[in-house]
Amino acid sequence: MNMTHYMELLADNQPWNLLIFMAIPVVLAETLAITELYLLFTRRFDGAVHRLNRFAGITVGLYFIGVIIYLIKNAVIPITAAGEWRTVIDVIAVGSYLIGGLPLIWIAFQELGIVNRAMAREAKLKIHATCVAIFLVFGHIAMIAGMADPGLLGYSAAEGQTHQEHKH
C-alpha cells in the first residue's frame, strides 16, 4: 500500500517521529480540550484544572510553532519543489495537520496576553473553545486523510520503490 507523507513521517524514525509529531501534541491538545470542557461547565477559574488548561494551551501552541516551521522547511517546501505530492489526499493530510496547529498557537498567544487582551473573560472563553474545536476538526481530517492510500486517486510509487526510499 502507498503511504501519504504524513503517515510516512509518523512511521519513520520510530518511536521518535511518532512521539514528536503525534503523541506530544495530541496529549497536550486533548488535555486542553478536556480541561476546556470542565472550565466551560463549572466556571472555576482559580484551581488546578484552570492552571493545567493554561499550561497545556501555552505549551501546545508554542510547540506547534516549532513543528510548523520544521515541517514547512523540511517537508512542505522540498516536496513541493520536487513535485512529489502523492495526490490531493497527501496535500489534505499534511495541510490539515499544519492548519490544525494555528488555533493552538492563537490560544497560546491569548494565554500569554499577546492577543485579545482587552476582551472580557466570556469572549476569551468563546475564542478559546472555538480554537479547540477548530483544532479537533483539522486534526481529525489530517489523521483520516493521512491514513488513506493515495493510490485511491491514482498515485503509485515507482516500481520496486519502498517507503524508505521516499524519505525527505
- 8 A C-beta contact, residue 107 and residue 55: no
Distance CA 108, CA 53 (A): 11
* Full pLDDT tens readout for the chain, 168 residues: 799 999 999 989 999 999 999 999 999 999 999 999 999 999 999 999 999 999 999 999 999 999 999 999 999 999 999 999 999 999 999 999 999 999 999 999 999 999 999 999 989 999 999 999 999 999 999 999 999 999 899 888 864 454 544 444
Q: For the chain, what are the domain ranges?
A: 5-150
All cell numbers assigned to 75: 517537508
Residue 90 has a CB neighbour count (10 Å cut-off) of 25
